[in-house]
């Protein structure tokens, strides 16, 4: 077994354990492999272990990888900060953009997504702990942005993406994730059919699953520490 294969096995086991601990079905939590800074060969190893969804943060780094793997059945997720002058490439080459945090970016992505392609899947990124330096819409503004994004023709609003304040304290992690979960439930109750709550990384996947995550984004614990 390669190191990546055995790390993936570990992550899958953690997901199963975390889901079972709180009575959830592990199949309801998707695993997104965050391949930023990693070469194509590492992505291929992860594919051999059965992974099909990969997340990238930097457009210039991602494009050659997407090109090199263009024959493969991969779903590419953009999870980094979106600059408005990059939306055309994002709309053309990615299946998902999880880091939409303002209407201007969403409007551009919709306008630039080819009308012959399926709509681009998007999540609204929420700055759940209202950290001053962090990307994402503030929790109080999230629902309005979701309503606006949901009306754009070439986008399919799937849900929310969350990066909480960094903490080693599992109860702190959990309370941020629960705030996100409540926001998610509220937006759904008000009529938007969201199906994706993207939260949980290498250091906090257990707390995220307990709070109802439907997609964890794992880099370090699959590919090893980043350079």
The contact set with ligand PLP (CB under 6 A) reads 34, 36, 57, 79, 163, 201-203, 217-221
Name the minimum Å distance from CB 34 to ligand PLP.
4
- In the complex with ligand PLP, the residue whose CB is nearer, 120 or 162, is 162
> Which residue, among 54, 116, 105, has the nearest Cα to 83 in the 3D structure?
105
Name the minimum Å distance from CB 189 to ligand PLP.
26
Rounded Cα distance, 14 and 9, in Å: 9
Rounded Cα distance, 200 and 100, in Å: 18
- In the complex with ligand PLP, the residue whose CB is nearer, 29 or 34, is 34
- In the complex with ligand PLP, the residue whose CB is nearer, 95 or 111, is 95
CB distance 37 to 222 below 8 Å: no
- In the complex with ligand PLP, the residue whose CB is nearer, 39 or 193, is 39
Residue nearest to ligand PLP (CB): 219
- In the complex with ligand PLP, the residue whose CB is nearer, 187 or 205, is 205
Name the minimum Å distance from CB 114 to ligand PLP.
26
Name the minimum Å distance from CB 61 to ligand PLP.
12
- In the complex with ligand PLP, the residue whose CB is nearer, 57 or 107, is 57
> Which residue, among 23, 72, 81, has the nearest Cα to 48 in the 3D structure?
72
Rounded Cα distance, 54 and 213, in Å: 17
Rounded Cα distance, 153 and 25, in Å: 33
Name the minimum Å distance from CB 8 to ligand PLP.
13
Please give the structure tokens belonging to residue 137.
Answer: 């819409």
> Which residue, among 113, 77, 108, 110, has the nearest Cα to 94 in the 3D structure?
77
In 10 A of CB 114, how many CB atoms? 10
Name the minimum Å distance from CB 15 to ligand PLP.
13
């Amino acid at each position: 077994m390669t190191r990546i294969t055995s790390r993936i096995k570990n992550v899958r086991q953690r997901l199963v354990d975390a889901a079972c601990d709180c009575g959830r079905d592990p199949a309801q939590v998707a695993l997104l492999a965050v391949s930023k800074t990693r070469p194509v060969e590492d992505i291929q190893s992860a594919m051999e272990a059965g992974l099909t969804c990969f997340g990238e943060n930097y457009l210039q780094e991602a494009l050659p990888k997407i090109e090199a793997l263009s024959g493969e059945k991969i779903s590419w997720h953009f999870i980094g900060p979106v600059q408005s002058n990059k939306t055309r490439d994002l709309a053309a080459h990615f299946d998902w953009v999880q880091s939409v945090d303002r209407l201007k970016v969403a409007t551009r992505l919709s306008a630039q997504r080819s009308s012959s392609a399926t709509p681009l899947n998007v999540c609204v990124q929420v700055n759940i702990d209202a950290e001053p330096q962090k990307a994402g819409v503030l929790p109080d503004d999230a629902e309005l942005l979701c309503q606006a994004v949901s009306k754009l023709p070439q986008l399919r609003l799937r849900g929310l993406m969350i990066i909480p304040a960094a903490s080693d304290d599992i109860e702190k992690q959990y309370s941020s994730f629960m705030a996100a979960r409540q926001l998610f439930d509220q937006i759904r109750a008000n009529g938007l059919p969201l199906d994706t709550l993207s939260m949980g990384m290498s250091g906090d996947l257990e707390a995220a699953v307990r709070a109802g995550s439907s997609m964890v984004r794992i880099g370090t614990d699959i590919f090893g520490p980043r350079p």
